[in-house]
Amino acid sequence: MVNHFVFWNFQEQLSSEEKREAALKIKESLEGLKNKIDGIINVQVVIDPLDSSNRDIALISTFDSRESLRAYQEHPDHKEAGAFIKSVTCDRTCVDFEE
């Protein structure tokens, strides 16, 4: 099993409303990939972190193998979501690990 965690902050110039709209779009697009790509065990996008957090949004996902993670990363719908995410976020941090 492979865990894939990604964390972002929104770009500072975005208004609170723009950040909220972007967060909802990111959540919908990434969580929707679970039904489109084989090998995804779970996908959760956290858009309301606690005040103690230092990131605005988090992706917590699990795959059945490294190959499934690669397939997810190369999937056209993931690339489309990624392009939008890059347009509204900064400070990306990623941690992948195998259990």
Query: 26 Cβ partners below 8 Å, 6+ apart?
Result: 45, 47, 57, 81, 84, 85, 88
CATH topology of domain 2-98: Alpha-Beta Plaits (3.30.70)
Question: Residue 89: its pLDDT value, please?
Answer: 98
Give the domain ranges of the chain. 2-98
Contact 36, 74 (CB under 8 A): no
Question: pLDDT digit string (tens) for 3-37?
Answer: 999 999 999 999 999 999 999 999 999 999 999 99
Instruction: Place 39 in a pLDDT band, splitting at 50, 70 and 90.
Output: very high
- The whole model's pTM is what? 0.94
